[in-house]
Structure 1
Amino acid sequence: MEHDVRQAESANPFEWSGGHPALDLVNTLDERPSSTPIENLATYHDLTRFAALAGLLDRRTAARLQRLDSRSGSYILKRARKLREHLHDVLATANSGRPARQPDLDALSAAIQAAHAAQTLVSSPSPGLANRRWSPALTPEIPLHACSLAIECLLVDEDRKRIRKCSASDCDVYYLDTSKGRRRQWCSMKGCGNREKQRRWRSATR
């Protein structure tokens, strides 16, 4: 179902409780269960800023990317949002105990392959013999590629049992559970955790 989307107003609107850049990417669409979710990737500038703050790009590269032609940036932004939603659908189906839909995996695979193709090896003094570099060094696709590689790391390298969804009924934030005993239930105790405790207390006192 289509929803109206609001734009974020905060100076730093991103949700950083995911514990992994790919999950933080999914969480850039805030308040998903509502009829008017908040879009925190409203512009290409937001996308490059997110990638830099998430540690996927160095800030100098992000600043240079933000000065590129806005028309190409808008196209890349749309692709990044679609990539985000494919990952969200994979996470949602896994959370419900169902296997991921192949069209979602195919879309993610294509983006990941393109990201690897956009990298080249250059000589490195240490610690290895070579480092990866973007080639060409400055194209508007770089933030999209960086997010794609983060998604690959999440899907391939992380234990699926640690990828969880906030237990609050009105929250759709995903996070990596690194707590002792894997008992984390909320995206944050200050937010959803406290709200759910208050709801349960009010329900018990009625």
Structure 2
Amino acid sequence: MVRMGVSTQDQPRRRVTEQQRDLRFDAGALCLNLVATVGRRPHIPVERMGDAARLEAWCRGVGVSLAQGYDAAGLLASLHELRTAAFDIASSAVDGHAPAPQAIALVNRLARIHPPAPQMELTAGGPRSSPDSELLTAQELLSVIARDLIDLMSDDARRSRMRACAGETCRMIYVDTPGGRPRKWCSMRRCGNQAKAASHRRRSSPSQDGGPGAGPKDSPWTP
């Protein structure tokens, strides 16, 4: 069975904020931006791409243009299926589990579709890339994402920089930037700041012995 990465059993209900519904485009790879269309995976998941409007917003965010006439409901269902497989495969680089064979088979099947070849047209300003050649069909979009996942998992350097955010209600998988110490959070402006604020509250509140909290200060970097 393909790993969903979500267990809802015995999980406390948490308020879903507008920020948690935001689409994310900062995971470092197209395929991981698709995976990030589910939020709060360790808890009750938040669907960030559940209708045609959100699908269009996601396509704009990742710089993809779809050809006219696609079936939005059908494409969403296919993207959700690919997203589940992509999460299973991508998370294996973080926790070392073996991805489900059906996840690998789905990605390979989708990747067999060839994206459109670039075309050129002559304009008043000279030869330019034809805008029509940049439009993707639904199957071509799925293929582009599947190929991106294969490229990511085949690149040892990028794969070694794949992380899962340390935020309890985030765990977004992202590709860390090269150089420096590994990042602990997907974003310091989001999960990093939230963790710092929680750490400050713990230090400011009385400890069990009546004194101020004295836990170590959280760092945005892993040890």
TM-score if structure 2 supplies the norm length? 0.67
Q: Distance in 2 between matches of 1:44 and 1:21?
A: 19
- After superposition, the Cα gap between the structure-2 partners of 1:9 and 1:144, relative to the gap in structure 1 and judged at 3 Å, is farther
Q: Distance in 2 between matches of 1:44 and 1:141?
A: 16
Q: Distance in 1 between matches of 2:57 and 2:145?
A: 12
- After superposition, the Cα gap between the structure-2 partners of 1:53 and 1:152, relative to the gap in structure 1 and judged at 3 Å, is same
Q: Distance in 2 between matches of 1:26 and 1:40?
A: 10
Q: Alpha-carbon deviation of 1:104? A: 1.3
- Matched with 1:27 is 36
> Which one has a larger percent helix, Structure 1 or Structure 2?
1
TM-score if structure 1 supplies the norm length? 0.72
- After superposition, the Cα gap between the structure-2 partners of 1:9 and 1:78, relative to the gap in structure 1 and judged at 3 Å, is farther
Residue aligned with 1:181, SS? coil
- Matched with 1:130 is none
Which protein is bigger by CA-based radius of gyration?
2
Q: Distance in 2 between matches of 1:23 and 1:174?
A: 7
Deviations 1:168-201 (A, max 9, x none): 2221211110053242110111221122233344
**Contact 2:112 2:143 (C-alpha < 8 Å) held by counterparts:** no
Q: Distance in 2 between matches of 1:94 and 1:154?
A: 10
**Contact 1:18 1:24 (C-alpha < 8 Å) held by counterparts:** yes
Aligned 1:93-112 pairs, distance under 5 A: 93-112=92-111
The unaligned stretches of length 5 or more in structure 1 are 126-132
Q: Distance in 1 between matches of 2:17 and 2:78?
A: 19
Matching residue within 151, 154, 161 for 1:153:
151
Q: Distance in 1 between matches of 2:168 and 2:59?
A: 29
C-alpha RMSD of matched pairs (Å): 3.8
Q: Distance in 1 between matches of 2:196 and 2:99?
A: 32
